Every structure is written in C-alpha cells, then in structure tokens.
Amino acid sequence: MARLPQPGGDSGNWGDILNEYLSQAHNGDGTLKDIPQAKVTNLSSDLTTIQNTLSDKADTSALAAKLNTADLDTQTAAKINDNASATAGALSTTMGEQLETPGTPARDAADAAFAARPLLPPNISAHRLWPRLTVLQSFAAGHGWFVSGTIANANDTSDKVLSDRCLSLTTDGAGGFSSYFKGAVTLNLSAKGLVLWLKSTDATRLQFLSVDVANESGMTNKARASIPTVGLSGKSPLYEGQWVPLFIPAAQFVTSGGSPNLAAITYIQIIAADFGGGHPTTLKLGGVSTYTEGVAKFPNGVVMFSFDDSYATAWTTAVPYLAKYGFPGTLYPIVGNIGNVGRLTLDQVKAMQVAYGWEIGAHCMTQAQHVSMVGGDPTAIDQMLTDLRQWQADNGFVGSSFAYPIGPFDEQATTLVRKHFAYGRTNDGFPCSPYLDKPWTAPAVALGSSVSLAQAKAFVDRIVANKSAVNFVLHDLNSSGGANDWTVADFQALVDYVAASTASVVTPTELLAAQ
C-alpha cells in the first residue's frame, strides 16, 4: 500500500517510497492523472445513498435537487481536476523550476540524504557528551611550568580547578606580553585538540591571547593558535571570574615559523597582553589536556555553509549549487526583510527546508535589531528571541540554531540565547571542534573581501587533516564580491573543493544530534 516516508526512517528508500506514493495521482512526467470514471460513479452512488438516508427528514427537497443534478458525474470530475490542477500550479509557481522532478537520480539521492538526517524539534537540545580528555597537566606540586608577568605565581593555592593549585599572572597594564611556558613536554597534536582551563578577572581588557607549540625551545619550528579576544575579534570565550575549558581544535594551529611537526611537540607557550592604558588583567591557568578530534558519524571533518540576512541569492544561487552534491545549508534570515526586493520570499524559505533539507535558523526579527547584542536590554533581547522561536513554530521550521547579529556576544547574550536555542553562532574567523564544547558561542568564518578563495580552501584542508569543523558564513553572492559578500565563482569553486574532499557537509542542528 502506498504511503508517505517516515521522518527519520526509511533510510535509503525514501525516494522510492515517496515516488510510489506520488505515482497514485501523477503520471511519470509529473502531470496529474485523469480521475477514473469509476471513482466518479462511486462518488455519485455514495451521494445518492446520503440522499435516500435523508429522504424521510424535513426540508430535503433542496438537497435532493442538488444531488439529482443530471450532470453530477461531469461536474464532480471537473471540480476535482480543477482543484488538483490549481494546487499543482501553485506549487510550481512557489518552488519554481529549481525543484528536481521526482524520480530522477539527483532528486532520489537528495531525498534519501534528507531523510537520513535527524532534526531536533524546537527547544530540545541533543544529548551531548564531551570527548574523552587526556590530562597533560593538573599543576600539582613540581609541575615544571614557568610564569612571567608583573605579578607571576607558579603555585597559586588560592584557586584551583583540576588539582590543589593553579598558575596565575597579571599583565603590566602597558600592552606588554606575559606568558606561561614549559619545555621538555611530550605532546602529540596530530588530529588532536588542546583544552586549556582558563579564568580571567576581566576578559574585556585582554587584547591578545595565543598558544604557541614548537619542536624545540628556540621556537624555530612552531605553530600558533590565536584565541578570540576583544582586541582580536570583538568577542571572547572567557567569562569574568569563571573557569572556562577552552577547546582549541587542531585546525586552529597555523604554521608561524619553520616546518613544525604537530605530532612531536616538545615546547608550549601561552602568551597574553592587555590593551595598555594602565589597565592590567589577571589570567589564571588551571589545567592542560588533549582530546581526539572527530565524531563517529563525521570522521573526516565537518563543513557548514551559513547564509545570513535573507538575500535572494541564497535561493537562486546557493540552493541549486549545493543541491548538485546533495549538500544542505543553513539560513539565518532577518525576518522583516523577507519578501523585500532582492530578498527571499517566505515560500522560498519554506521550500529550502522541505525540498532541500536546509536548516532555517534564527537571526533577528527586524533590520533595527541587526546590531550587537553586547550590553543590550535583556528584556528586549529575550522578547526578540521569543518572537523568533514563535516565527519558526508558526512556519514549521524545526532548526534549533541562532546566529548573533553581526557576531559579537557577551555573557548576558549567551545566557539568554541558551534559554531558547541549542546553538549560537558567532563570526570570529576560527574553525571549531566538531564536539561543539560551547555550542552557544560556536566559532565561524565570515567570507568576504578579507578571506580569499585560497584561504577558504586552506581552512578545508586543515579541518580534513585534523578532523575538525568550520562554519562558513556568507551573505550576498554576486559577480564582484564586497566587504561582506563573495563572488558566485568563488562560492561555486569552494563548494566543488569541499565536494572533492572527504569532509561531511551538515547543519548545526545535525552536528549537535551526532554528538
């Protein structure tokens, strides 16, 4: 018996089941079948039965007259066909010519891929486990680390996280560098990430923070992982007065000297600096660990494609080109811009989810709300997030991800976001761990004039080599690019490059569900 495919089930058979269901009323070329005369006759018979049943009731003459119309069969068939044709025409107008004809190999493959992807209902986060950590240093007595700073304490017993003490330093307030360092370590960062337990007294004063690893004390062959700070990207993963396990994916380490071998690290240095102006800050280090990158479902790294602000090219350009490989994308629209000139229509947004498996996330309701949430009115922010969730529910959008307007966030913003969403995306220019250790401040790389195609491909290479993840953020796609826009040619070349790699292309909610 023909039936609709079951959401989350029928893996590998989704397209066949749907095509069998559609074939009950459609021809092979997609046109509607004629209504069989036998069915019309049966309908006429049923209506006659109703008439006879009601014949002993009062005031049935008008109903009987309608039921006894001589051309009942012809009118009924015409009405059913007219309604079906109107519905098909509306769907054709809504979806446009971009939808593949059911039954074609490309559409069957896309259907099967979409059916196999789990989606989270609104307000429900997937159960997620941290990766297994290997503790390298808990800073018990005799740990062997050195500290430099205006105030430096290699055995601070006033605070702790993994053992009975931590390291602490206070910067000089003049923008000079302070650091933690240790030699003679045995550290393998091949396809592994680093975890630092850090605590800051005031992260807004931290201009620079990085981790250098090298194969020798002279740092001739070294790689550097820059950490997001207020000075570097306008945002920081550190919270004032709280211990934060900072996950640094292997793909975040970039060669900064010589030819470092990440599988044979013997020297590590953590460097910090304030903004100067007489405003020092204290940074504490409570532990160092490693973890193995990669999640079982996506063992070769993850790429995500995000499209912000409701631009029409997400539909006209991105959807069909990603569909060429069966890839989904994620949309973060400005709701109030939907339907405007040069922007998406609501029907297109719905088709992105239903026909192409895109995730429809949340961004902001109006253009006026497309501003930094840092220091904003908490009541207004919470109301915006509530309205976004309601808009998703009203339109059947099941994604549980949010993108911070223009990227910045603070502790208040993330606290509010996590009330409503399972994932919050920034745009600080970094890859991330597929484990999404802090899913409400997930890093991303915005593609615009500051990121070339070659640099974007290099991100892909690093995440595949190290089994990490990267979320590419795009806005408008055009022929010349722009500060926040990318060219169509570069976008298509990047998609081709990802398709030729072994990376998986997923949505944030799908990645959360794979933990």
CA–CA dist 329, 359 (Å, integer): 7
**Domains of the chain by residue range:** 1-55+103-116, 133-292, 302-513
Q: Is the pLDDT reported for residue 221 higher than 60?
A: yes
User: Tell me, what's the pLDDT at 169?
Assistant: 95
User: Tell me, what's the pLDDT at 160?
Assistant: 87
Q: How confident is the model at residue 298 (pLDDT cuts 50, 70, 90)?
A: confident
CATH architecture of 133-292: Sandwich (2.60)
Looking up tokens 């933690």, which residue turns up? 180
CA–CA dist 330, 399 (Å, integer): 9
Count CB-CB contacts under 10 A for residue 279: 15
Q: Is the pLDDT reported for residue 379 higher than 60?
A: yes
Section 503-509 average pLDDT: 91
CA–CA dist 25, 33 (Å, integer): 5
On whether the CB atoms of residues 454 and 435 are closer than 8 A, the answer is: no
Nearest of 175, 418, 141 to residue 281 by alpha carbon: 175
Q: Is the pLDDT reported for residue 151 higher than 70?
A: yes
CA–CA dist 156, 201 (Å, integer): 15
Looking up tokens 């990440």, which residue turns up? 262
Position 10: which residue type?
A: D
CA–CA dist 33, 23 (Å, integer): 9
> CATH top-level class for 302-513?
alpha beta
User: Tell me, what's the pLDDT at 333?
Assistant: 97
User: Tell me, what's the pLDDT at 38?
Assistant: 54
Q: How confident is the model at residue 5 (pLDDT cuts 50, 70, 90)?
A: low
pLDDT exceeding 90 applies to what percent of the chain? 48
Section 382-400 average pLDDT: 93
User: Tell me, what's the pLDDT at 36?
Assistant: 57
User: Tell me, what's the pLDDT at 58?
Assistant: 44
Q: Is the pLDDT reported for residue 458 higher than 50?
A: yes
Section 133-162 average pLDDT: 89
Section 68-91 average pLDDT: 43
Give residue-wise pLDDT tens across range 403-455.
999 988 888 999 999 999 989 999 888 888 777 767 888 999 999 999 999 99
User: Tell me, what's the pLDDT at 158?
Assistant: 93
Higher pLDDT, 80 or 513: 513
E strand or H helix at 246, and its extent?
A: strand 244-248
Across 6-20, 22-36, 223-237, the highest mean pLDDT is recorded for: 223-237
Fill in the DSSP letter of residue 367. Answer: G
Q: Is the pLDDT reported for residue 79 higher than 50?
A: no
CA–CA dist 403, 514 (Å, integer): 20
CA–CA dist 367, 336 (Å, integer): 7
Helix, coil or strand: residue 332:
strand
Residue 429 CB contacts under 8 Å (≥ 6 apart), including other chains:
228, 233, 443, 444, 445, 446
User: Tell me, what's the pLDDT at 26?
Assistant: 59
User: Tell me, what's the pLDDT at 408?
Assistant: 87
| Cα→Cα distances 216→192, 212, 256, 364, Å | 20, 11, 14, 49
CA atoms within 13 A on the CB side of 107: 14
User: Tell me, what's the pLDDT at 452?
Assistant: 96
Q: Which residues pair with 265 in a beta bridge?
A: 187
User: Tell me, what's the pLDDT at 130?
Assistant: 54
Q: Where are the alpha helices (DSSP H) in 396-487?
A: 411-420, 453-466
Q: Is the pLDDT reported for residue 172 higher than 80?
A: yes
User: Tell me, what's the pLDDT at 378?
Assistant: 96
User: Tell me, what's the pLDDT at 42?
Assistant: 57
Give residue-wise pLDDT tens across range 232-248.
666 677 877 888 888 88
Give residue-wise pLDDT tens across range 314-364.
999 999 999 989 899 999 999 999 999 999 999 999 999 988 889 999 999
